[in-house]
């Protein structure tokens, strides 16, 4: 037994295996929750029907800000959750806002007409607002509290459970 | 087929989408800029400087929806939007450091395609150290062997060089090589 | 029936591997001829069973038999036949099936070719190959079983990934790459056999080198085809992005290249035996590591929702192989006989080879470190970071310069001891050439040091290589009075191994120049053109003539037509397109490349408005890209010359 070879081999290989093993169970999807706990970036956009909407105009209300597009399948899975939450928490003062991400307004309007959602859906020319929020894919949802602070960011579809617990905390 | 993994990545790219170069709404621009941490440090740069800065930043920042491609390289609409935003920020006089910070604040550290050298010395210096150790090892072994051989050769007389003295060394080498094959 | 028959074939392959692995090692230990024969039969059975299994899978794919799980995953009635056939490797389970098939073919060919030779080593090696086969057939028969029966099959499927259906290169690139990737198992097993037997005779070292040369060539061609595919399909005008997927194929290539060089030292001087065996082991282990990295979901940052159950099993196998290699090497490396001759000092080819190996090892380490570093950082600090192109370029440029330099200096150095003065005389001409090249570059207005240095070093290396290729012929012509062309051909034929190696070096020179030129002098822009109008970029006038819609069963496309002229002269038509696949929301572009000897014009369609009146284009001009593919061809040619079997047989007869 050549002990030098053995020890060099062990030093090279064991940490590598340990590292790869610890990679399991981690979600390699890039997260961008850098904004959590910070003031929500302001924006002033127009809805698909052309009316102006700014974050400042709903100050004092908790806001659920959802980035989505019609070409994203998970967004369609998420849609009923948003519909349900808007129905039950809208009257309680929660403002639901959607921002269209890299999509054609006409397609989005057609989709919304079919689903019957009635929260403001904003066009985002040049994707500026999405960049200001560090959106790295859709859907992404930001929960903004009454003081305009981002309390939580969810990448991927929001589940019913997360929606409810987060909104209860914010109210 | 190893590339099959790469295919999936590009599913999210090349979106139809609207034009990312739409005319900038002035109000929107002001409001978005108001979100920046600091005001521009410098007056708007000249075109040549701005172009070079934009190109450097677009190469150094990562397209958020792709795997490992820079904003400059990615054909996706998201990368185009980000590239345009970088160009705008450069135009308004922000420094490269400020713009990088702007994106890191929003997306996280991974938006930089290369991590900062000062925080990740191991990444940058360990290959150099490994190479240096390799050189030291080879040279050390050679020295040790030479020393051992010099002692051995003191007893024996001849080195085992082929006796092709009459030939030009260049020819001798090639002929010897051909023979050995 | 197909699911059951396919499963049966895979189980037969599993049984053949299991039996063969045991009999092979046993035959090696006891030197029993009958056990060795059994092992060869098992390798044959393995090959036969895997060919049958893949044949059944192809049959199921072509006949759209959606009761087979894999067909239900990747098949569709609308996919064209050629892409249906190649959808065998469009998804995870199918690609592991292909892996097992290629391994089986390697095992079968190895068993047949070495049936009468190396009785002390061959059974060990074949046993090891079959032991690796046990793992892959186990995967195919168990957790990655593509033959699972779907109880209530549908009448159509989703079809393979659209990017797979986009280009003809997708038909040849993956199998070529896999032939090389999987083929690393063979030299690995031969290295293990040398350790198990406790000897590395020159004959075995030669055979091992030969068996490395073939997979190495496949891997080289596969990597270059992969770059070509990226270039032709992905639409950003690049061919290499240091993506984990690319690094996974590059790392074994680096260690295999190091092996090809160090094995020459081993053959000639019986030096570096342990190190050379470590290199084949590393090549094999890195193929496993690479597959794990790209398949397990641990590294893929986008679309990682599908965490594969194969990941942990693969990691287990990788760990097992690592432990096996380290233990085997530590236990047996001292049984190999010591070197017969000593290494020469710094002015010798010995040292150039050591330097080459050191640089390749450092290169491999750098690529590995850069690839796993984001994971390391996240595990340690929980912060996600990226290590991308800027890092790899920064680190690899100096290493590549060093390799290029050694490629020039090494062949000019003698194996034996040399006087520094003599070496200087040998190198004077190439040095002058490289200085002239550098001066010419500066005179032409080039100012980028990386590019100029690369061109100068390439000129240097090219010069030395050409001299090494022609010098023996000239010597022979002078000595025997033969005409020069005949003398050259004669020396190339008898010394084809050497000549082929230098042709490979010439290919590398082409590639180095192409990479430096195309990356440093790349220019790009974006333009929007109205129908009937033209825009210019760097002397190219691009006229937009309209967009048409093309419908195919599996997709519809918008094809924009452009006429391109340079300096007033029409050089071609371009039709970049955006393809919309059924069942997929987003469009995937196909760029058009107008390739010329000096530079490529690369057009990809960004967007066309609904009426087709305005088209947005991304335009890239890259010099000398064509040299890259040409250099790849030269490397292939050199490898074929070097390993040509007919010449080899003749040579062995001559020696006898």
Interface touch B1/C414, C-beta < 8 Å:
no
Which chain A residues are closer than 8 Å to C158 by Cβ? none
Which chain B residues are closer than 8 Å to C340 by Cβ? none
When pLDDT is cut at 50, 70 and 90, the band that residue B173 belongs to is low
In whole angstroms, how far apart are CA C575 and each of C409, C578, C594? 46, 10, 10
Q: Is the pLDDT of residue C151 over 50?
A: yes
B100-109, C166-175, C391-400: the lowest-pLDDT one? C166-175
Residues found in chain C: 656
The predicted-structure confidence for C410-435, as pLDDT tens digits, reads as follows 888 887 777 788 888 888 889 999 99
Higher confidence at residue C270 or residue A91? A91
Residue of A1, A12, A28 to mutate, interface with C, max C Cβ within 10 Å: A28
B105-124 average pLDDT score: 91
> Are C465 and B164 within 8 A, CB to CB?
no
Percentage of chain B with pLDDT > 70? 61
Report angle CA C385, C295, B114 to the nearest 5 degrees. Answer: 20
CA distance C56 to C147: 9
Residue of B17, B75, B103, B113 to mutate, interface with A, max A Cβ within 10 Å: B17
- Domains of chain A, first to last: 34-170 (3.40.30.10)
What ranges do the domains of chain B cover?
4-114, 121-180
Structure tokens at A163: 């929606």
CA distance C164 to C167: 7
Question: C523-627: what fold?
Answer: Tick-borne Encephalitis virus Glycoprotein; domain 1 (2.60.98)
Count CA within 13 A, CB hemisphere, residue B25: 17
C190-216 average pLDDT score: 94
β pairing state of C587-590 and C592-595: unpaired
Percentage of chain C with pLDDT > 90? 57
- Residues of chain C within CATH 2.60.98 domain(s) are 523-627
3-state per-residue secondary structure call for C559-607 = EEEEEEEECCEEEEEECCEEEEECCCCCEEEECEEEECCCEEEEEEEEE
Residue among B16, B21, B107 minimizing CB distance to A34: B107
Q: Is the pLDDT of residue A100 over 80?
A: yes
Q: What's the pLDDT score for residue C555?
A: 82
CA distance C649 to C354: 31
Residue among A1, A26, A70 minimizing CB distance to C330: A1
Chain C closest CA to B94's CA: distance in Å? 22
When pLDDT is cut at 50, 70 and 90, the band that residue B174 belongs to is low
SS3 A53: strand
Interface touch B80/C606, C-beta < 8 Å:
yes
The predicted-structure confidence for C64-108, as pLDDT tens digits, reads as follows 999 999 999 888 888 888 888 888 888 888 889 999 999 999 999
Which numeric CATH code is attached to B4-114? Answer: 1.10.8.640
The predicted-structure confidence for C369-386, as pLDDT tens digits, reads as follows 999 999 899 888 888 899
N-term to C-term CA, chain C: 55
Q: What's the pLDDT score for residue A74?
A: 85
The predicted-structure confidence for C28-40, as pLDDT tens digits, reads as follows 999 999 999 999 9
The H-assigned helical ranges of chain B are: 4-9, 26-34, 47-60, 77-91, 96-107, 121-155, 169-180
Directed axis angle between helix C244-269 and helix C273-295, to 10°?
A: 170
Higher confidence at residue C554 or residue A13? A13
Q: How many C-beta neighbours within 10 Å does residue B175 have?
A: 17
B14-28, B152-166, C467-481, C553-567: the lowest-pLDDT one? B14-28
Interface touch B11/C604, C-beta < 8 Å:
no
Percentage of chain A with pLDDT > 70? 95
Average pLDDT in chain C: 89
**Chains sharing 3 or more CB pairs under 8 A with chain A:** B, C
Residue of C312, C322, C336, C381 to mutate, interface with A, max A Cβ within 10 Å: C322
Specify burial of residue C378 (Cβ count, 10 A radius: 0-12, 13-18, 19+).
middle
Interface touch B160/C341, C-beta < 8 Å:
yes
Would you call the peptide bond into A139 cis, given omega within 30 degrees of 0 as the criterion? Answer: yes
The predicted-structure confidence for C570-596, as pLDDT tens digits, reads as follows 999 999 998 887 655 567 788 999 998
CA distance B131 to C112: 42
List C590's β-bridge partners, or say none.
C577
A5 touches C: beta carbon within 8 Å: yes
CA distance C32 to C613: 79
Q: What's the pLDDT score for residue C94?
A: 87
Q: What's the pLDDT score for residue B166?
A: 46
Interface touch B120/C377, C-beta < 8 Å:
yes
When pLDDT is cut at 50, 70 and 90, the band that residue B180 belongs to is low
Q: Is the pLDDT of residue C301 over 50?
A: no
ipTM: 0.86
SS3 B40: coil
Q: Which residue of B has its CA nearest to A133?
A: B106
Q: Which residue of A has its CA nearest to C319?
A: A17
In whole angstroms, how far apart are CA A67 and each of A103, A125, C159? 11, 13, 30
The H-assigned helical ranges of C444-585 are: 449-480, 484-494, 496-520
A47-56, B88-97, C335-344, C396-405: the lowest-pLDDT one? C335-344
Q: Which residue of B has its CA nearest to C618?
A: B75
Report angle CA C146, C152, C155 to the nearest 5 degrees. Answer: 85
Residue among A126, A130, A135 minimizing CB distance to B84: A126
DSSP assignments along C66-98, one per residue: TTBHHHHHH--TTS-HHHHHHGGGSSHHHHHHH
């Amino acid at each position: 037994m050549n002990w030098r070879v053995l020890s060099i081999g062990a030093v090279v290989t064991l940490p590598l295996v340990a590292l790869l093993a610890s990679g399991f169970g981690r979600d390699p999807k890039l997260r961008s929750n850098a904004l959590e706990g910070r003031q929500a970036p302001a924006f002033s956009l127009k809805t698909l029907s052309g009316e102006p909407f700014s974050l400042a105009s709903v100050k004092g209300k908790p806001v659920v800000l959802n980035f989505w597009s019609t070409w994203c399948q998970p967004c369609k899975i998420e849609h009923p959750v948003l519909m349900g939450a808007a129905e039950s928490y809208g009257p309680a003062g929660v403002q639901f806002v959607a921002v269209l991400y890299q999509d054609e307004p006409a397609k989005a309007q057609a989709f919304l007409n079919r689903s019957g959602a009635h929260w403001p859906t904003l066009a985002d020319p040049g994707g500026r607002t999405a960049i200001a929020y560090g959106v790295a894919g859709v859907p992404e949802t930001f929960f903004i509290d009454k003081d305009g602070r981002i309390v939580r960011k969810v990448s991927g579809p929001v589940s019913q459970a997360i929606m409810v617990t987060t909104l209860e905390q914010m109210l | 087929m190893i590339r099959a993994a790469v295919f999936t990545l590009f599913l999210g790219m090349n979106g139809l989408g609207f034009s990312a170069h739409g005319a900038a709404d002035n109000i929107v621009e002001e409001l978005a800029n108001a979100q920046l941490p600091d005001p521009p440090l410098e007056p708007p740069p000249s075109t040549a400087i701005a172009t070079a800065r934009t190109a450097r930043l677009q190469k150094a920042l990562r397209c958020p929806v792709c795997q490992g491609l820079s904003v400059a390289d990615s054909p996706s609409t998201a990368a185009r939007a980000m590239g345009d935003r970088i160009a705008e920020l450069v135009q308004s006089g922000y420094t490269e450091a400020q713009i990088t910070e702007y994106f890191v604040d929003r997306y996280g550290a991974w938006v930089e395609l290369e991590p900062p050298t000062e925080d990740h010395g191991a990444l940058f210096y360990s290959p150099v150290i490994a190479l240096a150790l390799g050189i030291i090892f080879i040279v050390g072994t050679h020295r040790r062997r030479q020393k051992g051989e010099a002692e051995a050769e003191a007893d024996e007389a001849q080195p085992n060089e082929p006796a092709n003295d009459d030939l030009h060394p260049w020819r001798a080498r090639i002929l010897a090589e051909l023979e050995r094959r | 029936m197909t699911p059951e028959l396919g499963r049966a074939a895979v189980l037969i392959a599993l049984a053949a591997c299991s039996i063969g692995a045991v009999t092979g090692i046993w035959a090696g230990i006891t030197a029993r001829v009958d056990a060795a024969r059994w092992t060869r039969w098992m390798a044959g059975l393995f090959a036969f069973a895997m060919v049958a299994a893949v044949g059944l899978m192809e049959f199921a794919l072509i006949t759209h038999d959606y009761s087979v799980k894999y067909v239900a995953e990747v098949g569709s009635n609308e996919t064209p036949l050629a892409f249906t056939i190649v959808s065998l490797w469009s998804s995870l389970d199918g690609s592991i099936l292909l892996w097992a098939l290629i391994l089986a073919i390697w095992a079968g060919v190895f068993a047949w070719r070495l049936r009468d030779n190396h009785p002390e080593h061959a059974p060990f090696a074949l046993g090891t190959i079959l032991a690796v086969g046990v793992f892959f057939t186990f995967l195919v028969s168990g957790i990655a079983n593509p033959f699972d029966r779907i109880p209530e099959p549908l009448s159509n499927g989703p079809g393979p990934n659209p990017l797979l259906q986009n280009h003809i290169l997708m038909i040849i690139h993956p199998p070529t790459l896999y032939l090389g990737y999987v083929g690393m198992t063979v030299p690995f097993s031969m290295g293990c056999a040398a350790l198990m037997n406790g000897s590395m005779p020159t004959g075995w070292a030669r055979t091992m080198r030969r068996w490395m040369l073939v997979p190495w060539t496949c891997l080289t061609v596969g990597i270059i085809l992969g770059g070509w595919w990226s270039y032709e399909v992905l639409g950003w005008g690049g061919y290499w992005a240091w993506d984990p997927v690319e690094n996974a194929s590059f790392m074994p290539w680096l260690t295999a290249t190091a092996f090809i060089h160090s094995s020459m030292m081993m053959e000639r001087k019986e030096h570096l035996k342990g190190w050379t065996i470590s290199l084949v082991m590393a090549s094999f282990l890195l193929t496993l590591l690479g597959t794990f990295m790209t398949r397990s979901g641990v590294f893929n940052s986008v679309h990682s929702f599908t965490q594969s159950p194969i990941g942990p099993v693969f990691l287990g196998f990788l760990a097992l192989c690592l432990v096996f290699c380290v233990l085997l090497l530590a236990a047996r490396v001292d049984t190999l006989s010591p070197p017969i001759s000593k290494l020469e000092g710094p002015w010798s080819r010995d040292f150039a080879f050591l330097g080459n190996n050191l640089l390749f090892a450092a290169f491999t380490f750098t690529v590995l470190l850069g690839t796993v570093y984001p994971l390391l950082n996240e595990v340690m600090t929980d912060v996600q970071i990226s290590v991308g192109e800027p890092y790899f370029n920064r680190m690899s440029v100096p290493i590549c310069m060093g390799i290029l330099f050694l490629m020039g200096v090494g062949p000019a150095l003698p194996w034996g001891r040399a006087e520094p003065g003599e070496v200087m005389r040998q190198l004077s001409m190439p040095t002058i050439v490289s200085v002239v090249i550098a001066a010419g570059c500066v005179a032409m207005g080039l100012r980028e040091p990386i590019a100029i240095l690369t061109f100068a070093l390439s000129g240097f290396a090219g010069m030395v290589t050409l001299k090494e290729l022609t010098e023996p012929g000239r010597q022979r012509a002078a000595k025997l009075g033969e005409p020069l062309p005949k003398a050259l051909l004669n020396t190339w034929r008898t010394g084809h191994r050497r000549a082929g190696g230098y042709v490979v070096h010439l290919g590398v020179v082409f590639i180095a120049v192409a990479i430096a030129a195309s990356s440093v002098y790349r220019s790009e822009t974006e333009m929007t053109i109205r129908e009937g109008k033209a825009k210019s970029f760097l002397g190219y006038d691009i006229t937009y003539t309209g967009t048409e819609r093309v419908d195919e069963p599996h997709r519809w496309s918008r094809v924009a037509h452009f006429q391109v002229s340079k300096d007033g002269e029409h050089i071609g038509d371009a039709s970049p397109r955006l393809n919309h696949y059924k069942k997929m929301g987003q469009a995937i572009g196909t760029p058009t490349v107008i390739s010329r000897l000096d530079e490529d014009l690369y057009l990809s369609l960004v967007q066309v408005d609904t009426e087709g009146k305005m088209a947005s284009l991304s335009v890239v001009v890259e010099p000398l890209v064509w040299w890259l593919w040409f250099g790849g061809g030269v490397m292939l040619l050199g490898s074929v010359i070097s390993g040509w079997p007919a010449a080899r047989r003749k040579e062995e007869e001559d020696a006898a």
